[in-house]
Structure 1
Amino acid sequence: MKQKLDRTLGMYSALMISIGTMIGSAIFVLAGTSYATAGPGASLAIFLAGIAAVFTGLSFAELVTVIPKAGGGYVYVKEATGNNIIGFICGWGFWLGYAMSCGLFALGFGNFINYIFPFIPQMAAAYLLVVYVMFTNIKGTKSSGTLQNVITTMLVALLALYVVVGIFHLDMDNQTPYTPQGMQGVFNAMGFLYMTYIGYGLITTASEEVIEPEKTIPKAILISIAAVIVIKTSVFFIGCGILPWQQLVPEVTSTPMIDTAAQIGGAVGGYLFAFAGILATLSSINTAVMASSRTSFAMARDQRLPSLFKAINRSTKTPVFSIVVSSIIVFIAVSIRDLEHISTVTSIFSLTGYSLVNVALILFRQKKPELERKFRVPLYPLTPILGIGMNLFLIVNLAVSDRPALIIAVSVIGAGVLYYYLIMPKLKYASKGISIVDVPEIKEQKKENRKNEIIIPVANPNTAEGLLNFGRTIALSEESTTVVPVKVNVFPDNLLTIADYDVMMQSMGVQDSVVQMLKEYEAEPCMRPVLINSRDAFHAIMSVVKKEKNPLVIMGWHGSGLAKYMHGNITYRMLQEAPADVGVLRIHDQQQTFQNILFPYGGGKYSKMTAKVVNRIANAYGARITLLNVVDHEEDVEDTRVYLDKSAAKFDQPTEIKVCSGDLIERVVAYSKQYDLIIMGASLDWGIQEVVTGFRTDKIMEQAACSVLIIKSYDIFLQRTKVRGLIHKTRKAIHQ
């Protein structure tokens, strides 16, 4: 199904997204680690990292004019390589890398909050930030984009003030020796500082939310990289000129840049810089969460992640599930509390992905030279080649300097490879939402050589014969299936004597026409009637269900509405509690045979489970099957038809496809005139709650011009009311 995002971000918003993310982590989170690694040479490291980012930034600027889609670098690599394992691993790395980088921002935010408000623990503030940003992103990019503009504008103003005032407090003696760890220290710092420039790539992940992305994003990338190189280099140089670098390392202080601000501006300067740090980390995490969620959104749209990741909320126009999952990854990264390893792992992911983006540019130039490009990389192919070389050089440096981080990065990529080859192919058969396709494929209907029982509780003479013939027809078509008709004679609790009991039983045995009917069926090999005398009909039926193997319970329909399904009603309780597949059958005008079956199939778990029952019934009657799917929009019809074609081939009997748009109930009722039997899977959409209130299933039962069978398949996990309620609320939040 086509899922679209809303375009609300202009040039200023694009610039602020890019600048805000690139400023945040380097100055306010990784400054101490940078000084510890490179000494005063940290300013050179941040400058060189920016220059290295320019090469790849130019590739992004050209590619976004060719492919202005949400997903950024992942989409470019996927389109260039053909949506294979290379494109997937690129997206996998970007998705997890962007989310993990948020751990840095959240920890930094907590540190600054704790500096200003010592009574607030760092970790509490960090976790609260993640929750706040998650809900801000769920509200939509217009909301988060406005917040981003305000935050970044204030941040740039505060940093400009810091630079201007700091120039008058420089002590150049603090800058010598400039590279106490040698150039190797500069290169090592350059490696993990490179990830602080990924902001220019983040804006491309939201291309479908940017106004005129082909024009806006290339300009935003180039302007933001140039501006941020100047700001970062200036701040790093001045910071190390105000205080000796030995006083700014993590072993000495957790707030190095705040210490320099306090040195030149006193307590007010320290608080102002801490406030700037709050703005910076808030800006960075806001954008990174958006970028991570848009990458997983794009991967789901390409059938690489479960389709829930691309589900767009109707109200906010945002991929809620993608945002929530990215936020959970951020929670995990925050809990780890290891700035050095998190930054290195994130850099390895980013550098690997950005190397592939440069490769994608070269492939596009070779494959599609005729495409119109509103921006072209200068000095091609030298520029992307230099980008690849620079990125690989930094990856090697990081791998040598931080082996644990390398092991983590390789393990995560390895997990992605296993998912791609072992799990992803099976997801097309999973339930809707978990599946990678919008309408999951039905599995091959395997022949089962096991004993099956069809349990049919009978009490109403008007429906008993139709139910028994229905079960008998199925049983006769299968080698090892037995029909177990169950008749419960319910007697009251107030019997006074044994004589009273005997008289009542004789009367019931003589007068009950259903009992006589069961006696007639007793001689048939496939029928095994059971007569139970009990004070509790539901308990009696359940005792039979629990004893039988692989039971399918078929019950008659006796009307709709709340009164029919009040607590204590046997049909209602069986649907809720029976450890078996339960069907409710309404036979239209004493119909005895079914040659044409309509199966509304949406791809949900219960719908997929019902397919087995549909196949059994179609085989029993030699009936044709029609798979029906009702979509929300007319443009989704053809895509849905393609999904259903594969499922249609899995049934034993001839199967047709019918896809249309409109209201589900109206369509099913309208088509009912053309069929003998409608079989529906009861789920959270067609579920017990709606049976109680008389919606959907009951409406179709009442209005359909043919027989209707509702199947509620048994699932030991989803049988729990609280679990169903939680899933129902979650789905409502994601989609509505």
Structure 2
Amino acid sequence: MVISGEYFGWNYGWATAGTIGFLIATLLVTILYIAFIFSYTELTTAIPDAGGPFAYASRAFGPTGGFIAGFATLVDFLMAPPAIAAALGAYAHFLHPELPVLGVAVGAYFVFIGINILGVKESANFSVIITILSVVELLVFMALVAPSYKTENVLAHNEGFGVGGIFAAIPFAIWFYLAIEGVAMVAEEVKDPHETIPRGYLLSIGTLVVLAIGTMLLCAGVGDWRQLSQIDYPLPETLAMALGRQNSWAKVFAGLGLFGLIASFHANTLGYSRQLFALARAGYLPSFMADVNKRFRTPHWSLIIGGLIGLAALYSGTTGEIITLSALGAVLMYIVSMVSLFALRRREPRLERPFQTPWYPVVPFVALALSLVCLVAIMWYFPGLTAIFAGLMAGCWLLFRFLILPTIRQ
């Protein structure tokens, strides 16, 4: 779900904060995610429901809490795939200039919605194989560019970036880790969730921290990082800077780099479909979206509707804007989830919790405080996108308040 965040998207943070400012933003966000995952795992194992944050907030605060969490999670997971699809198109165009970026992106939607309809077991097996290849490729990338690394390149060209740039770069630092929370969306389809989900979460966050920091620093240290700050294929471009543009590794890596993007696109498609399915099953969305295919037992309508929304975003926004919207939904969902954790600890002390947050309440409080900082920063530095988010949320709330809430209360 997350591995594509190491391949592209994060580098847009350099344009607003420089390498030093973005490193600070990334370290801040890394602390947030470590604290969040240790806290969120408690919720996921105690309430292994496909709704994820929606299920936790509904249990803690009722339908209104469920609406807020559900809306935020939908924005998070519906906006991530179009950003990844755009990068898929850019990588393919880098390899074969005759391939149109948007054409490849749209084609990816058709292919991977189809794969997800075929069944979750097949989807999971595909994801495991391609994710392993993606991680191995990142390690090979680091080994290839490490001899060209120079600390002076990392420190160069940072004049003119202030403290404000650090906060403006937060959405792109979040992109390193965004969607790790999506494991909760498939909790109902996991064997022994009480044991496997904590292990999966903790191994995942550890892997991502190493890959994120390593990739970012090595890319910055190879040459003039400003050349990488506005493109969707920073890793093959870094290889070209390190080894020469005629070197075959750059082209080979761009081809292999598609693995990371495919893995995340595929897994996020799975994630958004389960969220739409859970909301429809609970009566928050039209009931037909909770239908499952009779043969493959997958929520085909949720997969298709979510894909149409993603395609609309793909045609209407830039990669950076889509990433920012996804990050905005994510941090709001993190806030609601942490507040739900505190509320459930108080209201349901006897709820079975196979995994308990260490150093409670300090760890979830750190996650909550840093999520609030990130939310305020995004709202301050991206007022236009915040207005779009708020307008969509207000419109959905009115529909929910007058059309859906009365039926739920009945």
Q: What interval of TM-score do these two structures reach, taking the shorter chain for normalisation?
A: over 0.9
Question: In the TM superposition, what whole-angstrom CA distance separates every residue of 1:211-246 from its partner, at most 9, and x where no partner exists?
Answer: 111111111111101110110110000001002222
Please report how far the alpha carbon of residue 32 of structure 1 lies from its aligned counterpart in structure 2 after TM superposition.
3.3
**Candidates 168, 171, 181, aligned match of 1:201:** 181
Cα distance in structure 2, aligned partners of 1:187 and 1:230: 22
Residue 93 of structure 1 pairs with residue 93 of structure 2: no
Cα distance in structure 1, aligned partners of 2:91 and 2:254: 5
Please report how far the alpha carbon of residue 178 of structure 1 lies from its aligned counterpart in structure 2 after TM superposition.
8.1
Residue aligning to 2:223:
243
Cα distance in structure 1, aligned partners of 2:162 and 2:217: 17
Residue aligning to 2:31:
51
Structure 1: segments with no counterpart, 5+ residues? 1-20, 429-435, 438-645, 647-736
Residue aligning to 1:462:
none
Question: In the TM superposition, what whole-angstrom CA distance separates every residue of 1:675-706 from its partner, at most 9, and x where no partner exists?
Answer: xxxxxxxxxxxxxxxxxxxxxxxxxxxxxxxx
Residue 423 of structure 1 pairs with residue 403 of structure 2: yes
Cα distance in structure 2, aligned partners of 1:178 and 1:159: 26
Please report how far the alpha carbon of residue 258 of structure 1 lies from its aligned counterpart in structure 2 after TM superposition.
1.6
SS at match of 1:417: helix
Residue 114 of structure 1 pairs with residue 89 of structure 2: no
Residue aligning to 2:169:
189
Please report how far the alpha carbon of residue 185 of structure 1 lies from its aligned counterpart in structure 2 after TM superposition.
1.9
Please report how far the alpha carbon of residue 424 of structure 1 lies from its aligned counterpart in structure 2 after TM superposition.
2.2
C-alpha contact 1:85 1:420 (8 A) present in aligned 2: no
SS at match of 1:369: coil
Structure 1 residues 178 and 353: CA distance shift in structure 2, 3 A: farther
Residue aligning to 2:105:
126
Please report how far the alpha carbon of residue 343 of structure 1 lies from its aligned counterpart in structure 2 after TM superposition.
1.3
C-alpha contact 2:40 2:337 (8 A) present in aligned 1: yes
Question: In the TM superposition, what whole-angstrom CA distance separates every residue of 1:426-459 from its partner, at most 9, and x where no partner exists?
Answer: 8x6xxxxxxx89xxxxxxxxxxxxxxxxxxxxxx
Cα distance in structure 2, aligned partners of 1:53 and 1:133: 28
Residue aligning to 1:390:
370
Residue aligning to 1:447:
none
Cα distance in structure 1, aligned partners of 2:104 and 2:144: 30
Residue aligning to 2:250:
270
Residue aligning to 1:666:
none
Residue aligning to 2:2:
22
Query: In terms of mean alpha carbon deviation, does 108-117 or 192-201 score higher?
Result: 192-201
Question: In the TM superposition, what whole-angstrom CA distance separates every residue of 1:601-631 from its partner, at most 9, and x where no partner exists?
Answer: xxxxxxxxxxxxxxxxxxxxxxxxxxxxxxx
Cα distance in structure 2, aligned partners of 1:354 and 1:170: 36
C-alpha contact 2:178 2:327 (8 A) present in aligned 1: no
Question: In the TM superposition, what whole-angstrom CA distance separates every residue of 1:343-398 from its partner, at most 9, and x where no partner exists?
Answer: 11111111001111001111111111122221110111111111111011011111
**Candidates 247, 250, 256, aligned match of 2:234:** 256
SS at match of 1:304: coil
Q: Amino acid of the residue matched to residue 143 of structure 1?
A: E
Residue 305 of structure 1 pairs with residue 285 of structure 2: yes
Cα distance in structure 2, aligned partners of 1:23 and 1:38: 23
Structure 2: segments with no counterpart, 5+ residues? none
C-alpha contact 2:8 2:232 (8 A) present in aligned 1: no
Cα distance in structure 2, aligned partners of 1:366 and 1:408: 35
Residue aligning to 1:592:
none
TM-score, normalization: structure 2? 0.94
Cα distance in structure 1, aligned partners of 2:176 and 2:297: 29
Higher helix residue share: 2
Q: Amino acid of the residue matched to residue 285 of structure 2?
A: L
Q: Amino acid of the residue matched to residue 69 of structure 1?
A: D
Residue 320 of structure 1 pairs with residue 300 of structure 2: yes
Cα distance in structure 1, aligned partners of 2:206 and 2:402: 44
Cα distance in structure 2, aligned partners of 1:418 and 1:143: 39
Cα distance in structure 1, aligned partners of 2:208 and 2:103: 30
Question: In the TM superposition, what whole-angstrom CA distance separates every residue of 1:52-84 from its partner, at most 9, and x where no partner exists?
Answer: 1112212221011211111211111111112x1
Residue 371 of structure 1 pairs with residue 379 of structure 2: no
**Candidates 248, 251, 264, aligned match of 1:284:** 264
C-alpha contact 2:171 2:323 (8 A) present in aligned 1: no
C-alpha contact 2:2 2:176 (8 A) present in aligned 1: yes
C-alpha contact 1:195 1:350 (8 A) present in aligned 2: no
Q: Amino acid of the residue matched to residue 186 of structure 1?
A: I
Cα distance in structure 1, aligned partners of 2:351 and 2:233: 50
**RMSD value, Cα:** 1.9
Structure 1 residues 268 and 183: CA distance shift in structure 2, 3 A: farther
Higher strand residue share: 1
Aligned pairs (5 A) from 1:450-529? none
Cα distance in structure 2, aligned partners of 1:178 and 1:114: 29
Residue 169 of structure 1 pairs with residue 148 of structure 2: yes
Residue aligning to 2:192:
212
C-alpha contact 1:89 1:416 (8 A) present in aligned 2: no
Please report how far the alpha carbon of residue 254 of structure 1 lies from its aligned counterpart in structure 2 after TM superposition.
4.8
Structure 1 residues 390 and 227: CA distance shift in structure 2, 3 A: same
Aligned pairs (5 A) from 1:268-667? 268-424=248-404
Q: Amino acid of the residue matched to residue 295 of structure 1?
A: Q
C-alpha contact 2:223 2:242 (8 A) present in aligned 1: no
Higher-Rg structure is 1
C-alpha contact 1:59 1:357 (8 A) present in aligned 2: no
Q: Amino acid of the residue matched to residue 327 of structure 1?
A: G
Residue 222 of structure 1 pairs with residue 198 of structure 2: no
Residue 140 of structure 1 pairs with residue 115 of structure 2: no
Residue aligning to 1:689:
none
**Identity between Structure 1 and Structure 2 (%):** 26
Cα distance in structure 2, aligned partners of 1:210 and 1:85: 28
- Tell me the number of residue pairs that the alignment of Structure 1 and Structure 2 aligns: 406
C-alpha contact 1:152 1:280 (8 A) present in aligned 2: yes
SS at match of 1:373: coil
C-alpha contact 2:289 2:301 (8 A) present in aligned 1: yes
Question: In the TM superposition, what whole-angstrom CA distance separates every residue of 1:299-326 from its partner, at most 9, and x where no partner exists?
Answer: 1121111111111112111111111111
Cα distance in structure 2, aligned partners of 1:269 and 1:334: 30
Q: Amino acid of the residue matched to residue 349 of structure 1?
A: G
Cα distance in structure 2, aligned partners of 1:299 and 1:195: 25
